[in-house]
Amino acid sequence: MRVEESIMPKANSDEIPAVPLTIEGYSVLHQMMRVRWSAWRQLAAADKSAIVDEAAGVLAAMERDSAGPSALFSLLGHKGDMMFVHFRQSFDELNSTELQLAQLRLADFLEPATSYLSVIELGLYESTIKAYQDLKDRGIEAHSEPWKREIGEVLARQKEAMHPRLFPEMPQHRYVSFYPMDRRRGEARNWYSLPIEERARQMNEHGLIGRRYAGEVRQIITGSIGFDDWEWGVDLFAQDPLTFKKLIYEMRFDEASAKFAEFGPFYTGVHFSAPQLGAFLSGQVPALLS
Amino acid 209: pLDDT: 87
Q: Where are the domains of the chain?
A: 25-120
Give SS3 for 104: coil
Distance between alpha carbon 174 and the CA centroid of its chain, in Å? 18
Mean pLDDT over residues 182-192, rounded?
85
CATH superfamily to which 25-120 belongs: Apc35880; domain 1 (3.30.70.1030)
Answer yes or no: is pLDDT of 4 > 70. Answer: no
Most confidently modeled range among 167-176, 186-195, 200-209? 167-176
H helices of 138-237, in order, are 145-161, 163-166, 196-212
Rg (the chain; Cα; Å): 22
Q: What amino acid occupies position 6? A: S
What is the structure's pLDDT at 8? 35
Q: Which amino acid is at 196?
A: I
- The CB-side HSE value for 51 (13 A sphere, CA atoms) comes to 22
11 pLDDT higher than 90: no
> Sign of the C-alpha dihedral, residues 94, 99, 103, 107?
positive
Q: How many Å apart are CA 276 and CA 73, to the nearest integer?
A: 11
> Per-residue pLDDT tens for 14-25?
578 999 999 999
The Cβ of residue 43 has, within 10 Å, a number of other Cβ atoms equal to 14
| Separation of alpha carbons 272 and 290, rounded Å | 10
pLDDT tens sequence across 118-153: 999 999 999 999 999 999 999 999 999 999 999 999
Phi, psi of 121 (to 5 degrees): -135, 140
What mean pLDDT is predicted for residues 156-177?
Answer: 97
- Are residues 106 and 54 in contact, defined by beta-carbon separation less than 8 angstroms? yes
**Looking at 52-56, 245-249, 285-289, which range is the least confident one?**
285-289
Q: Would you state the pLDDT for residue 65?
A: 95
Which of 64-73, 98-107, 180-189, 195-204 shows the lowest per-residue confidence on average (mean pLDDT)? 180-189
Confidence at 2, pLDDT banded by 50, 70, 90: very low
Q: What is the pLDDT of residue 14?
A: 58
What's the whole-model pTM score?
0.91
pLDDT at 290: 60
DSSP state of 174: S
- Residues forming the active site: 179
